[in-house]
Amino acid sequence: MTRVPPLARRSKTLSASLGLGEKLFASSEERRFAEAIEAGLEEVEAGLLREVSFADDMADVTSRYLLEAGGKRIRPVLTLLTAQLGDGANPAVITAAQAIEITHLASLYHDDVMDEAEMRRGVPSAQSVWGNSVAILTGDLLFARASKLVASLGEGAIKLQADTFERLCLGQLHETIGPRIGEDPVEHYLQVLADKTGSLIAAAAQMGVVFSHAPEEYAAPVVAFGEKIGVAFQLIDDIIDLAEPEASTGKPQGTDLRAGVATLPLLYLQRAAHGDSGSAELLHRIEHHVDVFETEESVSPQHDEAFALAVSELRRHDVTAQTLDEARRWAREAVEALDPLPQGPVKLALSKFAEAVVDRTT
């Protein structure tokens, strides 16, 4: 019998979800602001457990599996946060936040199948437990449930959800087939990140503005912020993938590289290899190890050790520092996009979140 992990105990605060320090909200006004978002997140969390219930015992188990494994709920928190530019966490905002998180959850089931990932949120991935077919169908069920929630918000919400879902699929498709002949691999990769990660974060921020009845002119800045900070977030994940494995994630070092994903450090290494023999030699070793992972049913501990050594060398290489610089550029542009927003706790929290995103490597 499959055992479902207990519901992760998380502090439902801005600090926990967005990585912001508690000192950020020092004044009484800022504390009230944070408390309003925390109260909204409690409503969202209760609704998530309700909305991933189906008239089938197996579907209930599989759909709640990753929800109960944890997650920081970054996307619904952003919806609640930008809603403070308007009426706050009204019922429509709560529904939108739930739909956004369920959409994200559904995408994780599908991503893990396509990436053949073994771990997610510190537990075995769904397809590792039940197989690809169950994992895919669970993702489909969750997409359907998210769509039902969005439908209750009206035609505009349906179009926003459909546009976002289209970009999610296109991003995954373009990642799978790779860049076309003559297309710059780095630009191709950054567009994949904007579609796969940035689009949903942007939609989360936009829904907060739209359904809180905030001024219409605030939508474009938060959309630009969401897309750019999504790219920065993923670039930092590329760097974290090269770090020593953490017990909290259960992922081995270089998980993306093992799966044949050309992350930005590797793409930069490919560029550097054209004019530098040391970079070319490191690239050759990494590609050799990846070929072995893809073709051999099992690999020796010695091969794992040699691959870990190559990954560590890649982390120390200049291309990883270059990746960090690129992530910082996207985060900086995300903050600059917020210029039209009024001064206050929303703008401050979003700006500090951007800083926290790029500080995750330290």
User: Strand runs (DSSP E) across the chain, as ranges?
Assistant: 119-120, 123-124
pLDDT per residue as tens digits for the range 284-326:
999 988 888 777 777 778 888 888 899 999 999 999 999 999 9
Tokens representing residue 331 in the block: 């985060």
pLDDT over threshold 70, residue 2: no
What does the alpha-carbon distance between residue 65 and residue 88 come to, in Å, rounded to a whole number? 30
Of 251, 256, 324, 246, nearest in space to 286 by CA: 256
Q: Where are the domains of the chain?
A: 14-361
- Please give the share of the chain, as a percent, with pLDDT higher than 70: 90
What does the alpha-carbon distance between residue 118 and residue 21 come to, in Å, rounded to a whole number? 32
Of 194, 202, 192, nearest in space to 161 by CA: 202
pLDDT over threshold 90, residue 187: yes
- Please give the share of the chain, as a percent, with pLDDT higher than 90: 61
pLDDT band of 243, cuts 50, 70, 90: confident
pLDDT over threshold 50, residue 167: yes
Q: Are 97 and 222 in contact (CB under 8 A)?
A: no
Amino acid at site 341: L
What does the alpha-carbon distance between residue 64 and residue 243 come to, in Å, rounded to a whole number? 30
What pLDDT, on a 0 to 100 scale, did the predictor assign at position 93? 97
What pLDDT, on a 0 to 100 scale, did the predictor assign at position 20? 59
Question: Under CATH, to which class is 14-361 assigned?
Answer: mainly alpha
What does the alpha-carbon distance between residue 327 and residue 120 come to, in Å, rounded to a whole number? 23
pLDDT per residue as tens digits for the range 201-242:
999 999 999 999 999 999 999 999 999 999 999 999 999 989
